[in-house]
Structures are given as structure tokens and as C-alpha cells.
Amino acid sequence: MIVELSDYVEPFVEVTVTTLKEFIGIEATPKHPHFLDPDQTHEWDISAVIGLSGMIKGAVIVSMKTELAIKLTDLLAGPGHKEIDADVIDAIGEINNIIAGNIKPKIPNGDKIVISIPTIIRGKEHSIAWPSKQTRILCIPHKVFEEDIFHLIVAIDLENAK
């Protein structure tokens, strides 16, 4: 069986939309998936990174601006957050953890994936360095609330994913 990166798009969209609806109680509308340029900087302020190992190697990342991270945290932990604090870090990490955990039964060889604990990267307009220029980095933006966007980023090494 030949596995393509496109085999992962629909399951990741489905799991992300379901997670936000069931875990947080909000609607997410996926936008057009596209490949990221690994050298490009972005407008993100916080990213939760979960590594994938085993049969599939790579990472699942949720990235967004501070304002959205605070809105999501206020829904999960109660209102009153003003900056990226410990609650915000925990909330964004947990959202990504649920997405990564729930994707396993929905993708090829998902039962042979081991996921890491979330690592949080924060800082204005940070970028994420990828280990290889050949890594295909798929970004699936999702619109939430009226105009907020968060990015689900999937980077998978398909060499061993067959």
C-alpha cells in the first residue's frame, strides 16, 4: 500500500473539528490546506508540538495568536486570562494532545504510532525548524469564532509509512 500525505488531510480535519466541538464546545471551519515553506516566518505566538514516532515519524502542531489561545483557555478553565500563562500553556497543549491521540485510529498505520507529550513554543512570530528540507509540512487553517484562525500543522516522514 502506498501512503500519500493526502491520506492524512481528511482524518486530521475531522478529528480537529470534532475535538473543538466536543472538548471546547465551539465550531471550527477548515480552510484550504497548503504546504508551508519551512523558511517562512509566521504570525503565531504559541505552538503546541507533539512528536510522532514508531511506524510514522513526524509532528502534529497547533499554532495560533495569543488572543485566540486566551479565548480557548477562558472557555476551558474559566475567564480572566490576560496573557500566555501556565493555564494557557496547559490548555493549548491539551487540545493538541487530544487531536494527536484521536487521530491514531483514523490514519494508515495509526495503531503503530507513539505520541510524545506536548512541547510548547511561545514568542511573537516564531518559526519551527524542521530536521530535513525534504519534510512536507501540511498546514490546515481552521476558522473559529468570527475571525480567529488557528493552524493545524502536520509534518510526516512518509518513507516508513507504507
Query: Residue 106 — very low, low, confident or very high, per pLDDT cuts 50/70/90?
Result: confident
Average per-residue pLDDT for the chain: 88
Do 3 and 157 contact (CB within 8 A), yes or no?
Answer: no
Do 45 and 122 contact (CB within 8 A), yes or no?
Answer: yes
pLDDT tens digits, one per residue of 34-92: 888 777 778 899 999 999 888 888 899 999 999 999 999 999 999 999 999 999 999 99
pLDDT tens digits, one per residue of 16-37: 999 999 999 999 999 998 888 7
Instruction: Supply the pLDDT for residue 159.
Output: 64
Q: Region 82-111: what's the mean pLDDT?
A: 92
Q: Region 126-154: what's the mean pLDDT?
A: 85
Q: Region 135-141: what's the mean pLDDT?
A: 86
Does residue 153 sit in helix, strand or coil?
A: strand
Cut 0.85: pTM above it: yes
The residue among 88 and 135 whose pLDDT is bigger is 88
Instruction: Supply the pLDDT for residue 1.
Output: 46
The residue among 57 and 161 whose pLDDT is bigger is 57
Does residue 147 sit in helix, strand or coil?
A: coil
Residue partners of 4: CB distance under 8 A and separation at least 6: 158
Residue 133, pLDDT above cutoff 70? no
Instruction: Supply the pLDDT for residue 81.
Output: 96
DSSP 106-138: GSTTGGGEEEPPPEEEESTT-----S-TT--EE
Does residue 139 sit in helix, strand or coil?
A: strand
